[in-house]
A and B are shown apart, each in its own frame.
Chain A
Amino acid sequence: MSNQIVQGILLGGYYALIACGLSFMFSVMRIINLAHGSLAVFSAYSLWWLASQFHISPFVGLLIVLPLMAAIGWALQRFLLERSARGGALLPILTTFGLAIVIDNLLFEQFGADTRSLAPYIGSLSYDSWEWPGSIYVGKLAVIMFAAAVILLGGLQLFLTRTRLGRSIRATSEDPDTAGLVGVDARRANALAAAIAMVTVGIAGAFLGMRATFDPYAGTPQLLFAFEAAVIGGAGSLWGTLIGGIVLALAQTFGAQIHPQGFLIGGHVAFLIVLFIRLSTSGLGLRGLLRLPVRKPA
């Protein structure tokens, strides 16, 4: 059992990776990007394409894909989200949902229905493991993934609190108009935040491809995982996202113990329970739930 708990915690690192971009974008722009999961799958396909066509290792491939993802994030904000956000809170949901359908089906059109994986391109890393005390075997990849999540979340936290750019993003998320008065370019801050979020999505996509298989329609479950981890983690800091990811992964692990098909059910049920408890204790609705993460008192 302790073995499963360790595996669950490490899997939580992946969920934290995929969730941090979603909650970051929400906290800055108040937009839930429904194309989030599809973009992660897009990143995985890009790496797969580079690896299978040009024999570029996925880790090297990230050097190409991450700048591309940043550019996509910037363009997404400038050309799509900015415009649709002006039409109210509901339009961005519809815009990004439409975008998700376009991305999913373009991937299907381009790569077909076959499931792919990056595992064949990372050598022995996909199955190597360390033996921990108590005869627990942990995959090297899982540990790397968890470490990446910690580094990414910590780096993001440092960036937001310690750098000028980070502070301008936080100022914009608090109050774009007042931020504008003190010389912060809100459009630029938002576009930058979207670019950063997409870089995290790109990294999450890479690990998605390495640890499992994916197909063109794998974006939907990734979006749901990201959303669930972000909401479960909820209040506090970006570290809440990591806790949210771990809780989600553990719930899935326990679900799988109870019933062969219980993996996903366990995660969804845990999400709803957390939601229910929080709604019945706060009484204020979920308003602050997702935007709290980066709101750390300076």
Chain B
Amino acid sequence: MSAASPVIERGTPASRISAIAVVVIIALLAVAPHFLSAGAVDRMTALFIYVILAAMWNALAGFGGLVSVGQQVFFGLGAYFAIRLADAGLNPFASLFVSAIIVGAISWPMSLFMLRLRNGEFAIGMWVIAALTHLLVNLDRLVQGETGTSLISLNVYDVGVRRATIYWLALAAMTALLAMLFGLLRGSTGAAIRAIRDNEEAAASVGVRVTGTKRLLFVLAAFGIGMAGALWLATSITFQPKTYFSVQWTAYMIFMVLVGGIGTFEGAILGALLFFLIETWFGGTGVWYLIGLGATAVLFSLFLPRGLWGTLEERFGLRLLPVGYRVRLPADAVDGDTAPSTQQSTAQREKA
């Protein structure tokens, strides 16, 4: 490339280091159950589930521009179908995964309908769906109303084996879902997604398939959150509809994404980590903990709407897991910096 033209790059030196770091971290996490205590393994499993929830809600709201306060519907359904499948005789671990697929499949026809609602209407319309689904699940005799039921078939496994297996399943699910989202955002769909996020009408006018792209995010989020619900069921065994269909889950997702940085890939992960730490330290304080979460969400939405990561990214030009393109002017362009990643020659839409 000539020195006169601006350089369009996908990765930065920091991002190449962080790519290696990600691999190392996942490898370390994979062997961690051999060294951690039982309680710590359970907590780490919860963290993985939080990361999934944050990443999926962020995919929908941060990238698709679809704020839903009814995502607990997929969380609850993920757990419910796992119960149903296991009751029908399927292996409990397999039923977790099949359940998530069913949730994703259900979300597709739902999207035909719900995606025609806009902004607040979509947000609260999803809430109605969640409330209705909760009531309908209660009617199932197997669930016994609010009394709930348990994933009994999991009890045939030794408690240690069970804990480690769920840990690895959660880690694998988190890694796979994040990789899927990352791949999606880096590909051509990613450019469409960001174009929609920035200006839906403008995106449509240059030929972006707005509805199809949103539908993809909606179904992915439903699948991921369904997986999270099924995994949560596996860790806690008991299924009480009230707990799983609680709007609290969406409140957690919103908190994680708002604090971490809405619309940034790294932000959702950071938010989940912070939420995990806050929960570990303050979760015991009960109602004040919830008040604190709500107040923090309000303050972030008012004063730091880009969240922690969004603000850091803006200030320091930091990209650890770059999903967009960036343009550097020739003055500070570094030639000869051979990037291992493919350099796109045409910048369609840049992420500022």
Contacts and interface: CB of A to CB of B under 8 A. Distances in A.
A231 B291 CA distance: 30
Contacts of B161: none
B113 A271 contact: no
Q: Looking at A80, A87, A90, A102, which has the most chain B CB atoms within 10 Å of its CB? A: A90
B142 to A, nearest CB: 16
Interface stretch (B7-15, B114-122, B201-209, B212-220): B114-122
Nearest to A92: B120
Nearest to B65: A90
B28 interface: no
A221 B254 CA distance: 20
Interface string A262-288: 001100110110011001000001110
Interface residues of A, number: 48
B154 interface: no
Contacts of B288: 105, 109
Contacts of A98: 254, 294-298, 301
A214 to B, nearest CB: 17
B132 A265 contact: yes
Interface in A246-266: 259, 261, 264-265
Contact of B121 (A32, A91, A102): A32
A93 B120 contact: yes
B141 to A, nearest CB: 13
Contacts of B294: 98-102, 105
A34 B290 contact: no
Contact of A264 (B61, B131, B291): B131
A32 B132 contact: no
Contacts of A275: 113, 117, 125
Contacts of B119: 32, 89-90, 93
B131 A84 contact: no
Contacts, number: 124
Interface string B94-113: 00000000000000000001
A288 to B, nearest CB: 10
Interface in A88-134: 89-95, 97-102, 105-106, 108-109
> Which secondary structure dominates chain A's binding surface?
helix
B116 A268 contact: no
Interface in B126-155: 127-129, 131-132, 135-136, 138-139
A279 B116 contact: yes
A94 B301 contact: yes
Contact of B128 (A31, A108, A227): A227
A275 B124 CA distance: 13
A261 B135 contact: yes
B321 interface: no
Contacts of B138: 261
A21 B227 CA distance: 38
A220 interface: yes
Interface in A211-243: 220-221, 223-224, 227-228, 231
Contacts of A287: 118
Chain A to chain B: the 6 pairs with minimum beta-carbon distance, closest first: A32-B120, A101-B294, A98-B297, A98-B298, A102-B294, A268-B132
6 contacts: A95-B298, A95-B302, A98-B294, A105-B287, A109-B291, A261-B139
Interface of B: 61, 65, 67, 69, 113, 116-121, 123-125, 127-129, 131-132, 135-136, 138-139, 247, 251, 254, 258, 287-288, 290-291, 293-298, 301-302, 305
Given A98-B297, A268-B128, 8 more contacts: A32-B120, A80-B298, A80-B302, A98-B254, A109-B287, A220-B127, A286-B117, A286-B118
